[in-house]
Amino acid sequence: MRWVDTSRPASGLVVAVPEAEAVVGRHRDRLDDHAARGAPAHVTVLFPFVPGDAIDADVLARVAAVVGTVPSFGYSFSDTAWFDDAVLWLAPDDPAPFRNLTECVFAAFPAHPPFEGEFDDVVPHLTVGHRHPRPVLEAAERQVRPLLPVAGTAHEVVLLAEDLPGGRWASRASFPLG
């Protein structure tokens, strides 16, 4: 399965977690190609979203309307977790607010299921690293765990869009939570 049409710029909606940068930033820069291309530490709300070159005023207004109905919420990441041996991530102590946000946005944009519907259960997470040998990711985990928890408050959803060619991620808009 191909997640995005690579001939068009991808986009995604995320909750940035700036508090995590001090804890996982250097690991993400090495172990997560999205970080190396400019994506901040984040929890994905909806990816892939509308192709970057198709985002217009109507799409932006619809996102703003939906996101504005969801209240701001606090978050804390106190532990690491794994998807198989392939992905090391920070686990939110309470994933419910992130799940709710994803469900609300997906309901408004049903043509864009989270991760193209590949997963029956979309697990909110903050990726530390992926596509590296397990021992490399385990070394990062040993360095990250003593620095947890990471805590903050989600106040907005950020629209990230990919610039082609080159694939750098850049913030195109932000939408305040209600």
Residues 52-88 have pLDDT tens digits of 999 999 999 999 999 999 999 999 999 999 999 999 9
CATH superfamily ID and name for 11-173? Cyclic phosphodiesterase (3.90.1140.10)
Residue 98 has pLDDT above 50, yes or no: yes
Q: How confident is the model at residue 1 (pLDDT cuts 50, 70, 90)?
A: very low
Residue 149 is predicted with a pLDDT of 98
Contact 112, 47 (CB under 8 A): no
Task: Note the pLDDT tens digit of each residue in 136-146.
Answer: 999 999 999 99
Residue 170 has pLDDT above 60, yes or no: yes
Residue 3 has pLDDT above 60, yes or no: no
What is the spatial distance between Cα 33 and Cα 23, in angstroms, rounded to a whole number? 17
What is the spatial distance between Cα 177 and Cα 13, in angstroms, rounded to a whole number? 13
The DSSP string of 16-45 is E-GGGHHHHHHHHHHH-HHHHTTPPSEEEE
Q: For the chain, where are the E strands, in sequence order? A: 11-16, 42-46, 73-83, 87-92, 126-130, 150-154, 156-163, 168-176
Q: What tokens were used for 163?
A: 């610039």
Residue 164 is predicted with a pLDDT of 67
Q: What tokens were used for 152?
A: 């903050």
End-to-end CA distance of the chain: 35
Contact 52, 165 (CB under 8 A): no
Residue 111 has pLDDT above 80, yes or no: yes
Mean pLDDT across the stretch 89-107?
Answer: 98
Question: How are beta strands 42-46 and 168-176 bridged, if at all?
Answer: unpaired
